[in-house]
């Protein structure tokens, strides 16, 4: 178990900033005093195949894509000081789920730019051949000045052509597209659905398809009897932006945006950014 002051290769651990079931994230510095976020596997047993594989997949995906201002920066990964670790840029902030729960004014003031930045982060990932498959507010960190970083690529996979059924179906049901919940073939348009859910939630503080179980969520997605268009909850949403969100949330993936670059273009137009 890591402790403050412990050394990990060239890094000194200072403070645990986040912890989950599989890993912890620590604020660390190198010998020059530069700050980093160091993600450590909690259970490093050799037989812990699934978690180790996902950890390494996420690190490799982050390593393989070029830097982008709205995606967490990669530094290095692998065995460091005897521990399996991923070293990333350190940004001081909280994820969007926590920001929404706190009614954070910085999020409210910057929500238009956040929606653009989120779409551009997905576009960058897709343009370099990967789909995220766990796109949600909890996996987006917002800094004090309102900039964002997309994080956690553990479930990411190469974009298949044509769409392919996933061997396993991990993810967060509230943000999973109907084809995922139905165990049908998927491609990058599942991320576009998740973008629509996230945008809806950021603008209305509600989930478009609530439910306690994956089956209940799927039923809401397919039946839509109680689905409320976002402007019925928040009339301040521009009509053009509502149309974008509704297209992202089309049940049939062929009716969503085919590629994220088109989504980015329309979001920028709807929010009056050239």
Q: What is the pLDDT of residues 128-158, one digit of tens each?
A: 999 999 999 999 999 989 999 999 999 999 9
Q: For the domain that residue 112 is a member of, what is the CATH number?
A: 1.10.510.10
pLDDT at 43: 67
What are the distances in angstroms from CA 234 to CA 109, 221, 238?
Answer: 15, 20, 10
pLDDT at 86: 97
3-state secondary structure of 271: coil
Q: Please give the sequence-ordered ranges of beta strands (E in DSSP) within the chain, or none if there are none.
A: 7-8, 11-19, 23-29, 35-41, 74-80, 83-89, 93-95, 130-131, 140-143, 148-150, 157-158
pLDDT at 1: 66
Q: Do 160 and 265 sit in the same domain of this protein?
A: yes
Residue 85 has pLDDT above 70, yes or no: yes
Mean pLDDT of the chain, nearest integer: 93
pLDDT at 168: 79
In a domain, 1, yes or no: no
Residue 47 has pLDDT above 60, yes or no: no
Q: Do 59 and 109 sit in the same domain of this protein?
A: no
98 is in which domain, residue-wise?
Answer: 93-270
What are the residues facing 83 on neighbouring strands? Answer: 80
Residue 170 has pLDDT above 90, yes or no: no
Residue 122 has pLDDT above 70, yes or no: yes
Q: Do 111 and 60 sit in the same domain of this protein?
A: no
Q: Which residues are catalytic?
A: 134
Q: Do 237 and 151 sit in the same domain of this protein?
A: yes
Residue 160 has pLDDT above 80, yes or no: yes
Q: Quick: pLDDT tens for 193-222.
A: 999 999 999 999 999 999 999 999 999 999
Q: How far apart are CA 204 and CA 202, in angstroms?
A: 6
**Contact (Cβ atoms closer than 8 angstroms) between residue 87 and residue 37:** yes
**Domains in the chain, number:** 2
Phi/psi for 164 (5° steps) reads -130, 145
Buried b (16+ CB within 10 A) or exposed e, 180-204: bbeeeebbbbbbbbbbbbbbbbbbb
Q: Do 157 and 183 sit in the same domain of this protein?
A: yes
- Name the residue among 197, 224, 66, 215 with its Cα closest to residue 134: 197
Q: Do 81 and 180 sit in the same domain of this protein?
A: no
pLDDT at 45: 56
In a domain, 2, yes or no: no
Query: What average pLDDT does this structure show over 179-194?
Result: 96
pLDDT at 126: 98
What are the distances in angstroms from CA 59 to CA 20, 23, 35, 167?
Answer: 17, 13, 19, 20
**Contact (Cβ atoms closer than 8 angstroms) between residue 245 and residue 227:** no
pLDDT at 82: 87
pLDDT at 142: 96
């Amino acid at each position: 178990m890591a402790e403050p002051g412990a050394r990990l290769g060239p890094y000194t651990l200072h403070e645990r900033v986040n912890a989950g079931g599989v890993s912890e994230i620590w604020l660390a510095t190198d010998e020059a005093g530069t700050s980093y976020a160091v993600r450590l596997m909690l259970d490093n047993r050799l037989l812990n195949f699934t978690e180790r594989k996902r950890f390494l997949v996420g690190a490799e995906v982050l390593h393989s894509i070029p830097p982008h201002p709205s995606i967490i920066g990669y530094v290095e990964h692998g065995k460091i000081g005897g521990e399996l670790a991923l070293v990333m840029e350190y940004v001081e902030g909280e994820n969007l789920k926590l920001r929404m729960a706190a009614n954070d004014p910085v999020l409210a003031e910057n929500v238009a730019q956040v929606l653009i930045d989120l779409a551009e982060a997905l576009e960058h990932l897709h343009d370099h051949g990967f789909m995220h498959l766990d796109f949600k507010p909890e996996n987006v960190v917002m800094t004090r000045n309102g900039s964002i970083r997309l994080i956690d690529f553990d479930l990411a996979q190469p974009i298949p052509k044509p769409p392919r059924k996933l061997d396993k179906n991990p993810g967060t049901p509230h943000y999973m597209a109907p084809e995922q919940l139905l165990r049908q073939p998927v491609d990058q348009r599942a991320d576009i659905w998740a973008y629509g859910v996230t945008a809806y939630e950021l603008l209305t503080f509600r989930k478009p398809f609530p439910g306690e179980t994956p089956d209940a969520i799927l039923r809401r997605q397919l039946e839509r009897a109680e689905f409320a268009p976002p402007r019925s909850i928040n009339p301040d949403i521009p009509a053009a932006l509502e149309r974008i969100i509704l297209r992202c949330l089309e049940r049939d993936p062929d009716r969503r945006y085919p590629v994220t670059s088109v989504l980015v273009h329309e979001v920028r137009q709807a929010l009056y950014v050239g």
